[in-house]
Copies of this chain bind each other. A is one copy, B any other.
């Protein structure tokens, strides 16, 4: 235990262009510092109702059961699995990156049996493989997949996968951690059943909360459980007494008051901008960044049709050392980009344009910095070409 004096922590001002957290809108940072009130205060309860409504907008759903879990995205994932999977249940998991493996861990720890449908990292989930797995496993009732793989930047067709699942009497668990707010996520139109997300990606809020939404099919399965949910903290039926209790809100846990102020503000910002505008903004800045990467000779890993605009995986050029470049970006430019995860560690960079980070300043700054560093390392791209290419995209707009 410490005896020496420790000072207050004053973080540096970074530009966050990794896989999340993304840059946080200053309005959200300010909201975090508003006075703390009690978690059963009527004013707080009104705010909780607004958060639920705003989340329904973000998810494009009318699901009654829509709320933020008081813990990060991985707890949102666990909320879905621990409430829906009972011991002995078989679950099909589509795996095309790191988070499919985490789903496998979740199923096994719930006493379920996972049937893996594997696709290459950096590619979308293959619908034919999904259909084949459903046909050969008619006793499966749950299918789980990642809409937008944070480890690679690949997007899968959530609507089509869910249709296949429903045609085979399965409900879906869908990870929208990196997609929500950046590309369309239409929970009702696509009939997604149990969906979780995170706050630190395209909602540009701080990490630490996980929005979830469950439709009637998912709630029906939860209500008909034969066993109690193995987690008390993540038991949806208990959380509902707290978040949906109306006049008689029952104490479950103490909500993280100030982070919820931040989420409320983030959702107000998204609602004011409008989802369609937010999606278009992510697309525009992705196009500019992509033009810059092409000028720099940096290759995008994911095929165009399966590419997420808000998370850009690029191959690290031959002879360039991953850690050296990222360290220089951080030390000299205060700019964070993401490393590869798992099997792609050292092979690619993940460059995020999420939420408040999806803006022209960040695109041009990132390209300038990369251009300078790669130029010093011997890249043949003439200085200024990358920024020029990106600027061209903005001019055409």
Q: Which residues of B contact A12 (CB under 8 A)?
A: 35, 37, 43
Minimum CB–CB distance from A60 to chain B (whole Å) comes to: 7
**B1, B71, B341: the one within 8 Å of A62 (CB):** B1
Pair A208/B70 contact, Cβ less than 8 Å: yes
- Cα–Cα, bound, A257→B71 (Å): 12
Taken residue by residue from 14 to 31, chain A's Cβ proximity to chain B (1 for < 8 Å, 0 otherwise) reads as 101010110110010111
Complex: chain B residue closest to A52, CB-CB:
B2
Interface-facing stretch out of A122-130, A225-233, A287-295, A359-367: A225-233
A268 is an interface residue with CB less than 8 A from chain B: yes
A162 is an interface residue with CB less than 8 A from chain B: no
Q: Which residues of B contact A257 (CB under 8 A)?
A: 21, 206-208
Supply 11 A–B pairs (Cβ within 8 Å), ascending by A: A7-B268, A9-B261, A9-B265, A11-B37, A11-B261, A18-B38, A21-B39, A21-B254, A74-B253, A78-B232, A102-B232
- Cα–Cα, bound, A82→B60 (Å): 35
- Cα–Cα, bound, A247→B78 (Å): 28
Q: Give this chain's copy count.
A: 2
- Cα–Cα, bound, A257→B262 (Å): 13
A333 is an interface residue with CB less than 8 A from chain B: no
Interface-facing stretch out of A88-96, A106-114, A153-161: A106-114
Q: Within residues 202 to 249 of chain A, which ones have a CB less than 8 A from any CB in chain B? A: 206-208, 228-233
Pair A198/B36 contact, Cβ less than 8 Å: no
Q: Which residues of B contact A78 (CB under 8 A)?
A: 231-233
Pair A268/B6 contact, Cβ less than 8 Å: yes
Q: Which residues of B contact A105 (CB under 8 A)?
A: 232
Taken residue by residue from 55 to 75, chain A's Cβ proximity to chain B (1 for < 8 Å, 0 otherwise) reads as 011011110000000111111
Complex: chain B residue closest to A30, CB-CB:
B33
Q: Which 10 A-B pairs have the closest CB atoms?
A: A208-B256, A1-B56, A71-B71, A33-B33, A2-B53, A74-B253, A32-B32, A207-B254, A29-B33, A1-B57
Pair A75/B29 contact, Cβ less than 8 Å: no
Minimum CB–CB distance from A158 to chain B (whole Å) comes to: 18
Pair B36/A33 contact, Cβ less than 8 Å: no
Pair B8/A37 contact, Cβ less than 8 Å: no
Pair B34/A10 contact, Cβ less than 8 Å: yes
A133 is an interface residue with CB less than 8 A from chain B: no
Complex: chain B residue closest to A337, CB-CB:
B38
**B1, B29, B41, B267: the one within 8 Å of A336 (CB):** B41
- Cα–Cα, bound, A45→B10 (Å): 13
Minimum CB–CB distance from A367 to chain B (whole Å) comes to: 20
Minimum CB–CB distance from A196 to chain B (whole Å) comes to: 12
Pair B232/A53 contact, Cβ less than 8 Å: no
**B6, B61, B254: the one within 8 Å of A20 (CB):** B254
Residue among A2, A13, A42 with max Cβ neighbours from chain B (10 Å): A2
A353 is an interface residue with CB less than 8 A from chain B: no
Residue among A77, A207, A272 with max Cβ neighbours from chain B (10 Å): A207
A320 is an interface residue with CB less than 8 A from chain B: no
Pair B54/A38 contact, Cβ less than 8 Å: no
Q: Within residues 94 to 147 of chain A, which ones have a CB less than 8 A from any CB in chain B? A: 102, 105-106, 108-110
Minimum CB–CB distance from A292 to chain B (whole Å) comes to: 22
Asked if A233 meets B71 with Cβ closer than 8 Å, knowing A21-B39, A257-B207, the reply is: yes
